Amino acid sequence: MGLKNHNPLDNIQYRILDKNGIVLKEEDLPKFTDDELMYLYRTMIFSRIIDEKALSYQRQGRMLTYAPNIGQEAAQVGSAYAMEKNDWLVPAFRELGSWLVKGVPLRNIYLYWYGNEWGSYMPEGIRLLPVSVPIASQLQHATGIAMASNIKGEKDVTVAYVGDGGTSEGDFHEALNFAAVFKAPVIFVIQNNQYAISTKGSLQTASKNYALKAIAYGMPGILVDGNDIFAMYKATKTAIDRARNGEGPTLIEAYTYRLGAHTTSDDPTKYRDDSEVEEWKDKDPILRYRIYLMNKGLLTDEIDESMKKELEEEVASIFESIENKSDTEIEDIFKYHYEVMPPQLEEQLNEYKSFLEGGK
């Protein structure tokens, strides 16, 4: 079955690469160069290492609360790689792989989780919004950005992310409805990682899947194996091409699994069995892609090892460059609320500074 005829009501995941690294649909396989294939691998590995290191720093008391992406790398990297440079990316908070593809410096990402607002300051030329903690609220912004592209007659497309839990918020419904009514060039990617903290999908929706919700909004919906980087790329690229062509929004459900905890404050053993996690480890998105690259002769154990070593060193050195050097400047707490600081704010800042200086 090709992508075109893929109906979410059939509840079948669109898949190109199976869990053993075997290509199921040669005709759908994206035509990537060897360099591109290796870039995708490297980015997924980079994402995994950033997570693993952050978790270990957190355990050592060197990092604050952290939300890992482990298991969701293909859903993120595959979808983001389908974007053009000028396309907008609107994240929730668990899209590390997509941020890396967009070109966000790791320093920013770590600075954010390290508890400093400057982590959310995007370098010029990167069209990515900051993390949006209030679940699903960001989807409205995505629709608005896409509507503005239409109004301005520009061809940029917006890709927005949300979790399975986020689909229950009213904001999800409103954003999708607006997008469809106004034919906004926006792609909504649901990372269905099976859990919203401890809450299972069956407590989130009575639908067979999330992709089919698209039907009611009047937009295409597609259920994708989110652990298959090729399928994620292909589905997103197809949706982006459609949107750029003036045909409106698409809803993509990336069926995946959060292999780690919700965040470092969470203990998943309280609500799920290890056997379930083990089963999903077998479907690890990096595993199958690694086999594919090895079969293709692009990757060897030696290349893999040295790539990982190099990335680990890079991650460690970036973390060390922010560690213990990232306290917030007092002025920064006050400075960015308005273009011009109102007098009462200035007064509060000065009072506080003079308290710190031991004055009156």
Partner 1 sequence: MANTLNIVQAINQALMNEMELDNTVVVYGEDVGVEGGVFRATVELQKKFGNTRVFDSPLAESAIVGTAIGMAINGLKPVVEMQFSGFVYPAFNQIISHVARMRNRSRGRYTLPMVIRAPYGGGIRALEHHSESMEALFAHIPGLKIVIPSTPYDAKGLLIAAIRDPDPVLFWEPKRIYRAFKQEVPEEAYEIPLGKAKIIDEGTDITIVTWGAMVRDVQKAAEMVKAKGIKPEIIDLRTIAPMDRDSFVESVKKTGRILVVHEAPKTLGVGAEIISIVNEKAFLYLEAPPTRLTGFDTTFPLPRGEQHYIPSPERIAKTIEDVVNY
234, exposed or middle or buried, with CB in 10 Å at 0-12, 13-18, 19+? Answer: buried
CA distance 101 to 27: 25
Closer to ligand TPP by Cβ: residue 98 or 149: 98
Q: Is 197 in the site for ligand TPP (CB under 6 A)?
A: yes
Q: How is the beta sheet containing 221-225 ordered, strand by strand?
A: 88-90, 158-163, 186-192, 250-255, 221-225
Q: Is 326 in the site for partner 1 (CB under 8 A)?
A: yes
Using the contact rule CB under 8 A, the part of the chain among 98-106, 221-229, 239-247, 340-348 near partner 1 is: 340-348
| Per-position DSSP letters for 258-310, written without gaps between them | --S-SSTT--GGGTS-HHHHHHHHTT-HHHHHHHHHHHTTS--HHHHHHHHHH
Partner in contact with 168, chosen from partner 1, ligand TPP, none, beta carbon below 5 to 8 Å by kind: partner 1
| Per-position DSSP letters for 116-145, written without gaps between them | -GGGG-PPTT--BPPP--STTTHHHHHHHH
Q: Is 277 in the site for partner 1 (CB under 8 A)?
A: no
Based on the residue annotation, tell me whether 290 is a catalytic residue of this protein.
no
Q: What are phi and psi of 192, to 5 degrees?
A: -85, 90
CB of 188 to partner 1, least distance (A): 16
Based on the residue annotation, tell me whether 233 is a catalytic residue of this protein.
no
250-255 and 88-90 strand pairing: unpaired
Q: Which residue is nearest to ligand TPP (CB)?
A: 163
CB of 131 to ligand TPP, least distance (A): 10
Based on the residue annotation, tell me whether 271 is a catalytic residue of this protein.
yes
Q: Is 177 in the site for partner 1 (CB under 8 A)?
A: no
Site for partner 1 in 231-270 (CB under 8 A): 265-266, 270
Answer yes or no: are the C-beta atoms of 75 and 227 closer than 8 Å. yes
Q: Is 121 in the site for partner 1 (CB under 8 A)?
A: no
Among 134, 154, 200, 265, binds ligand TPP (CB under 6 A): 134
Per-residue exposure over 175-212, b if at least 16 CB sit within 10 Å of its own CB, e if not: bbebbbebbbbbbbbbbbbbbbeeeebeebbeeebbbb
Site for partner 1 in 193-212 (CB under 8 A): 196-199, 203-205
What lies within 8 Å, CB to CB, of 267 at 6+ separation is: 261
- Indicate the residue type of 116: N
The tokens for 61 are 């008391």
Answer yes or no: are the C-beta atoms of 63 and 252 closer than 8 Å. no
Q: Is 131 in the site for partner 1 (CB under 8 A)?
A: yes
CA distance 248 to 226: 22
Q: Is 321 in the site for partner 1 (CB under 8 A)?
A: no
CA distance 231 to 82: 11
Closer to ligand TPP by Cβ: residue 187 or 196: 196
CA distance 97 to 46: 8
Q: Is 334 in the site for partner 1 (CB under 8 A)?
A: yes
**Catalytic position from the list 262, 288, 289, 292:** 262
Among 46, 66, 195, 319, binds ligand TPP (CB under 6 A): 195
Among 17, 104, 135, 189, binds ligand TPP (CB under 6 A): 135
Q: Is 260 in the site for ligand TPP (CB under 6 A)?
A: no
Among 28, 51, 87, 164, binds ligand TPP (CB under 6 A): 164
DSSP structural state of residue 41: H
Among 94, 102, 234, 237, binds ligand TPP (CB under 6 A): 94
Among 124, 133, 278, 297, binds partner 1 (CB under 8 A): 133
Q: Which residues bind partner 1 (CB under 8 A)?
A: 64-65, 114-117, 131, 133-136, 165-166, 168-171, 196-199, 203-205, 265-266, 270-271, 326-328, 330, 332-334, 337, 344-345, 348-349, 352, 355, 360
Q: Which residues bind ligand TPP (CB under 6 A)?
A: 94, 133-135, 163-166, 193, 195-197, 258, 262
Q: Mind telling me the catalytic residues?
A: 258, 262, 271
